[in-house]
Structure formats: structure tokens, C-alpha cells
Structure 1
Amino acid sequence: MGRIKTTLIKRSAQDFISKFPDLFEKDFVKNKEKLNGVSEIQSKKLRNKIAGYLTRLSKAKK
């Protein structure tokens, strides 16, 4: 079993997917860079968690 993501991470990821549906890919590093350009997330830890969840959602979608 994996770690459970908080509501903040899930909600933020869903917002980014709804605003930018074709921006995110299956690669974590690219998603992290794109997320850094699209948003103003100050915390590196929070940005990485959201990018990881976006990567997971992208892999499940395709």
C-alpha cells in the first residue's frame, strides 16, 4: 500500500488538470518543471507531491 495524498494535493492536481488538460505527461521531472512555470507554489515539498500525483493521474488516464 502506498501513502495517502491529502485533500489539498488531490484538489490542486484536479484543478491543474481541468485548467491545462494536455500539459502534463507521464514524466515526473517534466511535470515538476511545467508545474513550476504554471503555478506559484512556494514549497518545494508541496510542488513535488502535486507533480507526483499529476504523473500518477496521467499514467492512469492513458
Structure 2
Amino acid sequence: MGKVRPAYIKRVGRALMEQYPDRFSDDFEHNKQVVGQLVEGASKRVRNRIAGYITSQVKRLKEASEESVKTSEEGGS
């Protein structure tokens, strides 16, 4: 079962990922610094929750793209 996050965390996280897709990675500490720079007035807790959501989404997208490459290599060979 996945982690349950409030809608505002997801909304801000998705918006940041759409506007700045190249600034985020699968490293939480890096994402925490980037979110701190991009989101003005966010508390430490909100910043960390947004960074955690973005980190999990980046990891999920990375795994999905690696899996699709792997299946395309198996099917094409």
C-alpha cells in the first residue's frame, strides 16, 4: 500500500515537475534544496513532504522507463 499524501502536496509537486523537469533527481537532499528555492514561504515540513513526493515520482518514472527499454530490447532481438 502506498503512502497517502494530501492533495496540496501532490498538486504543488506535479506543478514543479512540469515547470522544472530537469532540476529534480532521485536524490531527496538535492530535491529538498531545489524545492526550498522554488517554493516561497513553505515551512520545513511542507518543503520536505513536497521533496519526498517528487523524489518518489522521479524514481517511479525512472523505473518505468528502464522497464520499457528492457522489454523493447527483449522483443526486438
| TM score, norm. by length of structure 1 | 0.91
- Look up the match of 1:56: 56
Local SS of the residue matching 2:22: coil
- Deviation at 1:42? 2.7
- Look up the match of 2:13: 13
CA distance in 2, matches of 1:53, 1:17: 10
- Runs of 4 or more off by more than 3 Å in structure 1? none
> Comparing both structures, which one devotes a greater share of its residues to helix?
2
- For 2:29, the aligned partner's letter is V
Identity within the alignment, %: 39
**How many residues are matched?**
62
Which blocks of at least 5 consecutive residues in structure 2 are unaligned? Answer: 63-77
| TM score, norm. by length of structure 2 | 0.74
Higher CA-based Rg: 2
Aligned-pair Cα RMSD in Å? 1.1
